[in-house]
Amino acid sequence: MKFTDDGPVAIPHFLPGWTRLKFKLQWRGQKYEFDLNPETSTQTAQSGTTISSSSRPPGSPAQIQGVIFDLDGVITDTAEYHYQAWQKLADEEGIPFNREANEALRGLSRRESLMELLNGRSATEEQFQEMMDRKNKFYLELIKNISKADLLPGALELLIELKEAGIKVAIGSGSKNAKEVMERLGISDRIDSISDGYSVTRSKPAPDLFLHAAQQLGLEPAYCVVVEDAGSGVEAALAAGMWSVGLGPVERVGAAHLVLPSLEGIHWSNLQKQLAGNRLIPC
């Protein structure tokens, strides 16, 4: 269970042989009821309602027509550059920060990341905006030398296969620098559309970004699969009614339909088969 401003969230992991999990809980003076089955993934309950639904999109993985990739941690690893930029800002502001604290920023927007960094410290909107701009300036300076060599193993090969198979490809990243990063990586010609931090108001785990990406591709959500490395991204994909592939440890992306260590050695045809079997490949 997780408790959010929108209500309690259930992320069930059923034991072998279990067919149903039904329970009630009371939180902040409100009563909530969950009624889950093994195909249910992340679900948020509203006060006085019962949650009972399946996270599997209608249809089979063989019907998938579009793949939506997160950028950071999936296509390329700019996480180190983000960390260095946040660390420099924290040092200038006299705020304690380290790599462990940086993990809490994974999958968050720039504004949400700064709120996490400030950890309750007061700042006017003008100061807040200045710090976000300063962090972004540090980041842009760091990625000036990013190139094709910075593509993560398996990413380019999979993009090529998808193009040959006639599968539409989109980037669904909360970053406002996604277009520049893609140009520097030399993969812009392999992407059909980009949905980024400028595309929607609500960031992950809200489904808005991925729904926008599907709309840009001209596809129904049920015919899309999202590849993500953050728990909030997997949650957003499931909320959008899409198939999901999580890259990384089960503790972080275990709610996805399929969990893989990385894209290295992954082929499109095999990916569809693994999704059909909901296979879990441990890191």
> What DSSP string runs through the chain?
-EEETTEEEE---PPTT---EEEEEEETTEEEEEEE-TT--SEEPPTT-EE----SPSS-GGG--EEEE-SBTTTB--HHHHHHHHHHHHHHHT----HHHHGGGTT--HHHHHHHHHTT----HHHHHHHHHHHHHHHHHHGGG--GGGBPTTHHHHHHHHHHTT-EEEEE-S-TTHHHHHHHHT-GGG-SEEE-TTT-SSPTTSSHHHHHHHHHHT--GGGEEEEESSHHHHHHHHHTT-EEEEES-HHHHTTSSEEES-STT--HHHHHHHHHHT-B---
Helix axes 110-118, 125-142, angle to 10 degrees: 110
CA distance 45 to 141: 43
Residues in the chain: 283
Q: Are 272 and 62 in contact (CB under 8 A)?
A: yes
- Catalytic positions are 70, 72
